[in-house]
Amino acid sequence: MRVWPTEYDRWVALATRPLPAKDVPEHHRWRLVETPAGCVAVRLRGARLLPDEPVYPHHRMLCVPEEDAPRRAN
């Protein structure tokens, strides 16, 4: 996991390696974009991606929830 700045002045924790878009749910997809100030994380919600395009998943997708943690309804 690595923390990156976003395009809207927040921070997001992403996986260190990209995965194919087909393996990452839409609401967990991010891409790193080069800017003059450095890399910025950009959310890809709603973007039509090819199945093999690399995306960085949000860390919540990779974390195993604790058994006693409350579950959220999607």
Write out pLDDT tens, residues 20-59: 999 998 889 999 999 998 999 999 887 789 999 999 998 8
Would the pLDDT of 7 be above 80? yes
More confident residue, 65 or 20: 20
Would the pLDDT of 1 be above 90? no
Backbone angles phi, psi at 40, to 5 degrees: -130, 140
pLDDT at 55: 95
Calculate the alpha carbon distances from 37 to 11, 46, 69 in Å. 15, 26, 38
pTM: 0.76
Distance CA 18, CA 10 (A): 21
